Amino acid sequence: MKLDIEREVAALQKMSTGQLCERYAALFGEPTRTRHRTYLIRKIAWKLQALVEGDLSERARKRAEELARGTELRVMPPKSNEVAPPPAVVTHASIKADPRLPAPGTAIVRQYKGRRLRVLVLPDGFEFEGNRYKSLSAVAKKITGSHVNGYRFFGLEGKQ
């Protein structure tokens, strides 16, 4: 009787994490050390596929062992007794502002569909109707309802 892998994987998607752990233990003969759903689904699906299609050949297994023999394999990173120095604190960063943007504190005004729109340029973003936005494109999307280039929408694209 051949397994239908696609149907089995679809059934795995519907299982709870506890059921996946039980299925893993039944297939691999040992309990799992994780409860990560996506990982369990992938491992179980791989095992089911290996059962149906065939696993690695004995020759391939021996070659993999030969290649791994001379390497240092780790499961966990090495523990160090040394205490890492605290990260350096940046007191000032040089932020290159886009030359198309007016200086912070400036209002960008535009007429759109009979409305007068006013966006205030802030040092770290923009303010429109009392809300803060990270980009002009976000403001333009709020206004139009679709993705629009903010510089183009507010007529700032050619100013450099």
Helix, strand, or coil (residue 124): coil
Residue 156 and residue 100 in contact, taking contact as beta carbons nearer than 8 Å: yes
Q: Kindly indicate the confidence band of residue 1, based on its pLDDT and cuts at 50, 70 and 90.
A: very low
Residue 45 and residue 8 in contact, taking contact as beta carbons nearer than 8 Å: yes
95 vs 76, more confident: 76
- Residue 94: predicted pLDDT: 54
Q: Mean pLDDT lowest for which of 12-16, 27-31, 85-89, 97-101? A: 85-89
- Hey, what's the torsion of the CAs at 90, 92, 98, 103, to 10 degrees? 150
Q: Mean pLDDT lowest for which of 13-17, 21-25, 27-31, 103-107? A: 103-107
DSSP E strands in 4-156: the ranges are 107-112, 115-122, 125-128, 131-133
pLDDT above 70 covers what percent of the chain? Answer: 81
- Residue 53: predicted pLDDT: 83
Q: State the SS3 of 49-79.
A: HHHHHCCCCHHHHHHHHHHHHCCCCCCCCCC
Is 80's pLDDT higher than 80?
A: no
Residue 135 makes CB contacts below 8 A (sequence gap 6+) with 125, 126, 150
